[in-house]
Amino acid sequence: MVAPCEIAVKCVVPVVRSLMAKGLQEKFGFTQETIGSFLGVTQAAVSYYFSKTRGNAFNLGEDEEIRALVEKVIDNLNSNAISAELLISETCDICRTIRTKRKVCSMHKRMDPRFDITYCEICLKT
């Protein structure tokens, strides 16, 4: 059994952090070390995000709602208007949005082939 939160930890959160890291670098020119400090990860993790070694499980950059949520977070990070608790909360909100849009269903099926995603509504309830 693979729970949706397991998929989120392994796949979704790294994709979200990757989007945040890239946004912070492109929009504000922050160094990898500064970005890592903002996101609570190492500079090496940020480097992996940039090289697409990590955080590339699927493409979320095309989804306008998710991009807007990420933009809000990076703007708040830039202005120091976000606490660690709020960053966690916002990341959870983004993850929840991704899950309710059924963007992890095919990944769930790959990770647990026995699981029938056809009529699954787990992510819509949590």
**pLDDT tens figures, 32-82:** 999 999 999 999 999 999 998 887 777 876 889 999 999 999 999 999 888
Contact partners, residue 87, CB within 8 Å, separation at least 6: 39, 40, 73, 77
Q: Give the single-character DSSP code of 10.
A: I
CB 8, CB 104: distance < 8 Å = yes
* pLDDT band per the 50, 70, 90 thresholds, residue 126: low
| pTM assigned to the model | 0.89
Judged by DSSP in three states, 81 sits in coil
Per-residue pLDDT, 57: 75
Per-residue pLDDT, 103: 86
* Residue ranges with strand state E in the chain: none
Sign of the CA dihedral with 37 first, then 5, 23, and 48 last = positive
Alpha carbon distance 42, 48 (integer Å): 10
pLDDT, tens digit, for every residue of 78-96? 998 888 999 999 999 999 9
Per-residue pLDDT, 61: 67
Amino acid making up residue 92: C
Tokens (6 digits) for 2: 């693979």
- For residues 29 and 112, the model is more confident at 29
